[in-house]
Amino acid sequence: MCAFQKASLIASLCGGILTGCAVVPDLPPDWAMPQREILRHTACELQTAFRYLDEYPPPKNIFVARNWTIAVTLNPKLEDDIQPGAGLTRKVPTKTGAIRSSNWVLGGPNGLTADMRGDSTSSLDFDFDSAKLIDDNSLDCEHEPFPLHSLSKSIGIEDWLIRSVDAAVATNSSLAKPSFSKEVFTKYSGSGSYTYTFPPGTDLLTLSAYYQLDQILNINISAKTITTPLSAKTLPPGGKGFGPNAPTGAVLSTVQVLQDQRSDLQQIQQAISNLKLNTD
């Protein structure tokens, strides 16, 4: 086996071992992402805003509080990275007083490093009906959450929605596709190194790692679809038609735009607008 084949085999073996050591992050613990408290507080802010707009409705039916569906999406993105490294330096010959000597360095200043990275992305969707949310008296909005998480505190959706409706009233316009987004980014990182020096040279070990959590809360509000039934007659009632297929009455059909499709398209549009350009 030639030297190149040996090097390729060693590289493949090391790559397989390091791939097995890579860690894929799991869903963050409740203290880092309290899903129940985040959703509870979001629903309470939405309920307060819609109840206010239902009690004090804007003129000209600009915003009918009971005529909306709400999609709340919690999209956590996790990434962790571990970079171990090792290296050494050697002086040849090691004896003092040599006329000529050579210094060998393996791995450069930080040694040979490996990058083991894993990431995980999930999406949690929760749907609300504004009319049911307004009438819901079982929602515990007096509860003060213990976790000190930004998304479980005031997120500003209540003030934003009421002010948006006021702006629509002032300009005699309408709200087409209201959407709201909030993002919380947290990153933990650390590094360390160990160096052992002795006459022939030095041995060094390094280790660095980070864990980051990017939490995005998206709220999409879409108007309920108004369906209008259409009556159609293919043949007059009682006509001959085609024998047993002769109609006995009008055939009713309903044509409508699917509400789920409209909401999904709105969520996709907001997800695209949340994308950040990577300039690294």
The pLDDT assigned to 33 comes to: 80
Find out whether 236 and 250 touch, Cβ atoms under 8 Å. no
The pLDDT assigned to 10 comes to: 40
Weakly modelled stretches of the chain, pLDDT under 50: 1-19, 251, 255-257, 277-280
Side chain identity, residue 18 = L
- What's the distance, CA 112 to chain centroid? 34
The pLDDT assigned to 265 comes to: 62
Contacts of 279 (CB under 8 A, 6+ apart): none
Overall size of the chain counted in residues = 280
- Treating both helix axes as pointing N-terminal to C-terminal, what angle do 157-171 and 35-55 enclose, rounded to 10 degrees? 30
Domain ranges of the chain: 18-224, 228-275
Contacts of 214 (CB under 8 A, 6+ apart): 76, 77, 78, 79, 183, 184, 185, 186
The pLDDT assigned to 12 comes to: 47
The pLDDT assigned to 227 comes to: 58
The pLDDT assigned to 164 comes to: 92
Of 85, 41, 102, the residue nearest 203 (C-alpha): 85
